[in-house]
Structure 1
Amino acid sequence: MGKKLLTIIILVVAMAFALAGCGGSKGQSSQSAGKETAKQETQASGKIRVAVIVKALNSDYWHLVEAGAKDAGAKLGVDVTVLGPAAETQVTEQVSMIEDQITKKVSALAVAPSQPSSAIPAFERAKAQKIPVVLIDTDAPWQDKVSFVGTGNYVGGKQAGEFLAKKLGKGAKIAILRGALGDPTHDERANGAVEVLKAQGLEVVTIQPANSERQMGMSVMENILQAHPDIQGVFATNDEMALGALRAIEAAHKNIIVVGFDGSPDALKSIKEGKLTASIAQNPYNIGYMGVEAAVKAVKGESVDKRIDTGTKVITKENVQEEMDKLAKILGKK
């Protein structure tokens, strides 16, 4: 009886150890799998994601910004998403895009605000979520931005004024077509030109908004020509409006100097053909590229200059081919 009981006890103990061993093996396996999943999640969430939100994706200018941003992302090994509404006047849609990217918890934002005052509340939400915000192309009076990356728009406007003053001389009558009211980029460009034109004795007879659109630039210019048939020069604060104004001028069979702003591929082609007189060329590729660079540095806790000027230059028939070759290479058209 005693031997039988001892045998039963030994068997029970052995089974208990076996079960414990199985349970331990299963537990270790689950723990290992959990660690691997967590590792994968960390790797997935650890990659820097930058959302670049521009004013619109309806022109070569913004496509050049997009190209620069994506090239920076590829070089730096970060994910870059470029978004923008259908038109620069769609302010509400742009703000919604910013808020959507905040909800998606991107690592950083690079934004060209169409209407800075409307975008600032969204920037504040990004700050609350510890998402750094870099402003590109257009600055905003928001002290918590990482940096402003873009053109010295006032200086560029002055370059346009100087070009017109040199070409036309004192007493010439000038019309200015500008982007949407409330857009500081176009405020600065127009104001810079006006300062020089007035100082040089030229008369700015009208400043009209054409919302950065070619078709609207044409219709606004048609109205200006009716009201001021003796116009001698036009400055448009972007190339789309300049090209639209040029159509109206050609249809009216007038010989008027037209200066645009951006140095877009369509504008350069027109300059080469002897139609558009000049364009104040920005470097939209660098705006996109350096904007993403600044955003990535901010995510990594590195120092970033508060203002990064990407420069401007006057493009005329004399230097247009060089600029065309450069942009064609960037856009993959050569």
Structure 2
Amino acid sequence: MNEFRRHWHHSLLLALCCLLMSCIENSDQKAQQVDVNSGDKKPRIALIMKSLANDFFSSMAEGAKKHQQQQGDEYELIVNGIKDERDLSRQVALVEEMVANGVDAIVIAPADSKALVPALRRAREAGVVVVNIDNKLDQEILEAEKISIPFVGPDNQAGAKKVGDFLASKLKSGDEVVVLEGIRTSFNGTQRRLGFEAAMQDAGIKIVDSQSAQWEMSMANTLALSMLSEHRNVKAILAANDSMALGALAAVKNNNKTGEVAIVGFDNIAAVQQAIRDGQILATADQHGGELAVFGIEHALRLIEDPDAKVEDRETPVDLITAEVLK
């Protein structure tokens, strides 16, 4: 009986040792797997834009995708957009979806300078890096929400002033013009209007009407038709983006005023480049949409790599585009 007990204890001890060694081996394998995965993990960056129906934002998306493909081992990219420029609730929902999806950074061109700030604050609180491009977030709202978000983009007022100055060089003091504004709660829309106004004031040119077409071509066409009907002596239309410039162009053609009413825009989309070459639109501003998202993504990658880095804005180029430039 004692011999049986000794044999049983020996077998049990051997089984326990084997089990313990197996657990240790599995634990080591898991630890190695964690180390490998953590070393290979790529940052995930979400690009959230405004309407992808707008050529400016579709070119921005293509520029970002091309950059990611060229830097494929560096980060993963998720591209999102909204149906139209005014779909604020959907853009807020996209921010929340990307946070829930566990992205490391959000690079956003906000549809509104104020309405997106609370959602972006929540993203920051969740540990997500946020970089603002294209349309600057409202500084007072940022301060009220107690967050700092870097802006990467052009000086929209300076860009609009360049366009306005070029237009003024083709007009004379006392001429009348009208302005098609962007969304009035958008910082870039306000800045472009101010740039246009400064250029016209400097040249002694009178703005007889200024209304928001909310960045939309069809609304711009309707407003421009009304403006041309009400103000018979208008010599030019200043549009705060190229989609609205194209809407204005259709209105000018409809009124048989091609060559009589000059048009300027902002964004340098392909359709407007062709209209400039054809002499139908006078000028636009190029804020390098194909590169703008890339500038924001590169800024986000730096902040992911160094979370303690100082949060700073970065100004990007904006250039006057005329027929001479496009030759």
Same fold (TM over 0.5): yes
Superposition deviation, residue 10 in structure 1: 4.1
- Asked if 1:275 is matched to 2:280, the reply is yes
Checking the alignment, whether the CA contact within 8 Å between 1:69 and 1:291 is kept in structure 2 is no
Distance 1:59 1:145 in 2: 29
Checking the alignment, whether the CA contact within 8 Å between 1:134 and 1:147 is kept in structure 2 is yes
1:197-276 mapped onto 2 (5 Å cutoff)? 197-254=200-257, 255-276=260-281
- Asked if 1:299 is matched to 2:296, the reply is no
SS of 1:83's equivalent? strand
Between 258-267 and 104-113, report the one with greater CA deviation.
104-113
- Asked if 1:316 is matched to 2:322, the reply is yes
SS of 2:95's equivalent? helix
TM-score normalised by structure 2 residue count: 0.90
The code of the aligned residue for 1:301 comes to: D
Number of equivalenced pairs? 316
- Asked if 1:97 is matched to 2:94, the reply is yes
Alignment-derived partner of residue 26 in structure 2: 30
Alignment-derived partner of residue 8 in structure 2: 12
- Asked if 1:67 is matched to 2:70, the reply is no
Distance 2:187 2:149 in 1: 19
- Asked if 1:155 is matched to 2:152, the reply is no
SS of 1:54's equivalent? strand
Checking the alignment, whether the CA contact within 8 Å between 1:112 and 1:135 is kept in structure 2 is yes
Superposition deviation, residue 314 in structure 1: 1.5
Checking the alignment, whether the CA contact within 8 Å between 2:148 and 2:311 is kept in structure 1 is no
Alignment-derived partner of residue 105 in structure 2: 108
Checking the alignment, whether the CA contact within 8 Å between 1:72 and 1:293 is kept in structure 2 is no
1:69-148 mapped onto 2 (5 Å cutoff)? 69-74=64-69, 75=71, 77-140=74-137, 141=139, 142=142, 144-148=147-151
Identity of aligned residues (%): 25
- Asked if 1:190 is matched to 2:190, the reply is no
Alignment-derived partner of residue 179 in structure 1: 182
Alignment-derived partner of residue 326 in structure 1: none
Superposition deviation, residue 304 in structure 1: 5.9
Checking the alignment, whether the CA contact within 8 Å between 2:180 and 2:212 is kept in structure 1 is yes
SS of 1:314's equivalent? strand
The code of the aligned residue for 1:116 comes to: S
Higher Rg? 1
The code of the aligned residue for 1:196 comes to: A
What stretches of structure 2 of length at least 5 have no aligned partner? Answer: none
The code of the aligned residue for 1:178 comes to: E
Superposition deviation, residue 155 in structure 1: 0.3
- From 44, 53, 56, give the equivalent of 1:49: 44
Superposition deviation, residue 47 in structure 1: 1.9
Between 200-209 and 135-144, report the one with greater CA deviation.
135-144
Superposition deviation, residue 237 in structure 1: 0.4
SS of 1:127's equivalent? helix
Superposition deviation, residue 287 in structure 1: 1.1
Distance 1:168 1:217 in 2: 22
Distance 1:130 1:20 in 2: 44
What stretches of structure 1 of length at least 5 have no aligned partner? Answer: 322-334
Per-residue CA deviations over 1:128-170 (Å, capped at 9, x if unaligned) read: 1122211100111125334211111010111122111100121
TM-score normalised by structure 1 residue count: 0.88
SS of 2:209's equivalent? strand
Per-residue CA deviations over 1:24-67 (Å, capped at 9, x if unaligned) read: 343234324533554465357x3211111112211221022212
Coordinate RMSD, CA, aligned:
2.0
Distance 2:304 2:9 in 1: 58
